[in-house]
Structure 1
Amino acid sequence: MLFPTLKKLYRVSIWAIMDIAVLVKQTVDMDQIKLNDENEPIMDNLPLKMDILSKNAVEAAVQLKEKYGGKVTGIIFGTERSTSTMKEAYAMGVDEGTVIKGYKKSDPMVTAGVIAEELRKAKYDIIILGDQSSDSYSGLMAGLIASELEINVITNAINIEIKDNTADITVESENEDVTVETDLPAVVSVAQEINEPRLPKVMQIMMAGKKNINIVDGNPKYEDDTKIISDKAPDSQRKKIIYEDGKGIDEIAKILKVVK
């Protein structure tokens, strides 16, 4: 019985030093966006918050730490205003964090290059992020960062299990869920179905406000060649049709049938 006990202790000692990175996206509150007379979004002075899927990513990272031991480092490519979002990540269980300044609606290639440069400063076992962001829905970031770091990437994950130097990742697909094995380190983007993000308690929020945040300048390795040509909401016009006689019932029934 001695050998299994030693084996168990050995596994614990490995994951006690597990380093987990979680990439956090800060976005404007989409519910607060209004349009000007030309149907263009008014983006000035909008409140900022952690992106929805970033909350799932933070929760996934913290759950791995709680299950296997180790440390979670949060990384945001944003501005000095991003410290509020990092404090929210702290309250959820992130241990330390870095805000990289210089984000200006950069294209995915620029963003991936900046974040990858920060990730190279440490040896992370797993890098977790949201599968997409609510402001662009490009879904490109995981693959681009993995390409920069020359490591494996798994996307749309709904479960993560660590086994020695590998991970079993369950991926949500259209027909059935598939579990794949990948060597570590790896980049894993998570779907919203992976978990229900925790709500920090008041004490956790207060303690998060006192923690230090490392703020650094971003050094893009690529030029931002992306230009937004147009950013307008589609015209929304409603037809007001009034039927004043009984024949209108048949017409209304036809319309409802088409809509259905």
Structure 2
Amino acid sequence: MPDKTEDIELKLLLEAIFRKYHYDFRGYSMASIKRRLTQAKEQFDCRTFSQLQDRTLHDPNVLPALLSYLTVQVSELFRDPAYFRVIREQVVPHLQTYPSLKVWVAGCGAGEEVLSLAILFREEGLESRTLFYGTDINPAALKKAETAMYELDRIPLFTENHRRSGGKSSLSDYYTAAYGSAIFDKSLRQRIVYSDHSLVTDAVFAEVQLVSCRNVLIYFERELQDRAIGLFVDSLPRKGFLGLGAKENLRFSRHADAFTDFARDERLYQKRGTL
């Protein structure tokens, strides 16, 4: 009975967040949400989700902290280097045929993946004709992404990832180290637009040739996964590319027939030429 009551409280808390602040987590995986909000409950010294709901509704300062729990912000530059190597070696030759390009990183967090693609596209001669969109629902993450500043102790991993992704220069060419941080070059940020966008409630905003949405769908229930993939289908032109995370695939999506496997092991898909 206690577990059932707790689940009711949890659903009411998510409903309250949606109605008050218009952030919709109701279609997220409940197991994941429950685990993360249990941690938040402990931080705010709340005995129950009902108490946390009361705090959330009546203290607007609580929501930003909750968003840091509800949105996963774990990433790194060139995370899963093989994914970026495939983009570099197999996707880029297709993209080179376009006079202008748009790339959408959905669920961009603190911007590591957007910056990775900007560096990759510069090395492959595509940056000057590409506009990069990084979207997320977490304002704090987007603010950090715009700084392009990361802790210096993360740089060795970033550097190794870049090398393994087929990097054609030294990562150190792209940042300046100061006061324990690495600040990436302003010129890399000139082609990047960061914006609030929800895969749960918002619509398509542009036609893009590449969508990268990695390690986001695993936190969604099936219906919400289908909604997000539907957005990607509508955003991509024929022969456009979609990249997912290592534990994600299109196998059970109702939109699976819209794509062909392009690089199955790296979860890269290509929209069919005819639909």
The structure with the greater share of residues assigned to helix is 2
Larger Rg: 1
Asked which structure has the greater RCO (Cα within 8 Å, sep 6+), the reply is 1
TM-score bucket of the superposed structures, by smaller chain: 0.3 to 0.5
| TM norm structure 2 | 0.33
Is the strand fraction higher in 1 or 2? 1
